[in-house]
Amino acid sequence: MIFKKTILTIALLSLSFASFSSAHPGKTDSKGGHTCWTNCAKWGLKDGEYHYHKGGFFIGEIPTNKPTPSTSDVEEVIPAGHVKVTLPSFKVYINYKTGASDAQNSTLKYPLFLYNDIIYAPLNYDMCSTLTIENNWSSEVGLSLKKTDTEIGEGVRFQRIEGSSTQPTNMYAHLPTFNIFINDVWVDNGNEEYPFLVYNDVTYYPMTWHFNSKFGLTTGLKDNRFDIFKVD
């Protein structure tokens, strides 16, 4: 009987020794844990990481081989009060008296964009000068736009993004907070099916027939090409 107890005691001691020898070095505290400072990476720990030992194994942050989610898997969050707009896949041509010219929209600092399948044009100085839209702004009145009888302006130099830059992947616009007048008539922008929008601090107008006609303009999309004309 004593012989059997001796064998059992030796077996238990051997098991305990094997368990402790499989753990990485370092004394444990009264709670059974300690901070790793030696060969931490070998045990899947970081230098200075506190963890517990239990049965020859550590309880800590165990490394996994789970793949990192790609950006395409991350759900896009549209900023509050904004709508998502996109660059058109087709080319934009401005028809001057001398002929049509590719605006090279993707290189414009203020590009034309799409919202709800409608093309929007920026009302900055360059585009207003080209499309011959009179543009006046004041904090008291807001934005005042008027039709002119001038032909579409040729020779206007558009502002463009730097050669090494590209348009942002995600583009967001919001409703303007000021009044808008076209030919001295107030636009009830909040109730418009296709409202005026603001992108990069520039106001954009929807190039629908309704608004184009007020500026003496017409547009057409054919064969992956969007044309802008001034009508007589």
Taking only the tens place, the pLDDT of each residue in 156-201 is: 888 888 766 788 889 999 999 999 999 999 999 999 999 999 999 9
pLDDT of 49 strictly over 90: no
* 11 vs 94: which has the higher pLDDT: 94
- What phi and psi values does residue 62 have, to the nearest 5 degrees? -90, 125
The predicted pLDDT at position 32 comes to 64
Q: Which whole number is the average pLDDT over 22-39?
A: 63
Instruction: Check residue 154 and give its pLDDT.
Output: 82
Which residues, 6 or more positions from 220, have their beta carbon under 8 angstroms from its beta carbon? 226, 227, 229
Report how far residue 142's alpha carbon sits from residue 136's, in angstroms, rounded to the nearest whole number.
8
Whether residue 56 is predicted with pLDDT greater than 50 in this model: the reply is no
Whether the pLDDT of residue 42 is over 70: the answer is no
Q: What is the pLDDT of residue 51?
A: 63
**Residue of 211 and 77 predicted with greater confidence:** 211
Q: What is the mean pLDDT of the chain?
A: 82
111-116: long-range pairs with CB below 8 Å, 24+: 111/87, 111/167, 112/88, 112/226, 113/85, 113/86, 113/87, 113/88, 113/171, 113/173, 113/199, 113/204, 114/85, 114/86, 114/87, 114/88, 115/83, 115/85, 115/86, 115/173, 115/194, 115/197, 115/206, 116/194
Would you state the structure tokens that stand for residue 25, as one six-digit string? 């070095």
The pLDDT value given to residue 69: 61
| pLDDT of 22 higher than 60 | no
Q: How far apart are CA 176 and CA 119, in angstroms?
A: 17
Q: How wide is the angle at C-alpha 54 spanned by C-alphas 53 and 60, nearest 5°?
A: 50
pLDDT at 18: 46
Give the Å distances, CA to CA, from 124 to 116, 135, 157, 205, 232: 22, 8, 12, 11, 23
Mean pLDDT in residue range 53-60? 48
| Residue 53 scores a pLDDT above 90 | no
pTM: 0.68
Q: Which of 47-61, 81-95, 142-156, 210-224 bottoms out in mean pLDDT, i.e. has the lowest?
A: 47-61
Residue 120 has pLDDT above 70, yes or no: yes
